[in-house]
Structure 1
């Protein structure tokens, strides 16, 4: 009795499609970042002529955008958790609101005296 088995080479078409989709998405993301960078720095009057300086500025611009997106998503998640807690009234709303305030101010906040967390 002969058993038909799938080989790795049987999926070359799927690998090709996934690879092309990833490359296209990466290319589109890169174009979007270049467009935002050029729009942001065309508004400024001083523009560096050195190619290496422009590349460094572009990479720092992309890093700043990434940090903005991360902080925005963290803030949304904390707000979403706060809304769920306020609706559920399970008593942890104070600590979540405190976490939101802590995140917004980027400072560590100690537990206030006289409060007990459960």
Structure 2
């Protein structure tokens, strides 16, 4: 039987593989699969927080995974971790981290990039 952690990791691999896809909705549907997995296992929050932190520290999984999920989840631990990493003069990923941090705001500038969030705001 596949563990929640393994399933999460497999979904992240699929997201990374579909990152450059355009037009077919594959990338967003895989992001949504991750969000659904996380939401359906609230008992594994600590595990997922650690997974999201690892994503923020690595270059393997697109940061959009964390951004997409945190828009809805609004987990403060992940935001604090991102803020600690945010160092524009040192960290080349700071621009992407700024996008993640903005997902916690009431109005999210990147909302229009995702049908899931556009449909919810109607």
TM-score range, shorter chain: under 0.3
Instruction: Name which structure has the greater RCO, CA cutoff 8 Å, separation 6+.
Output: 2
Please report the TM-score for the alignment, with normalisation by the length of structure 1: 0.25
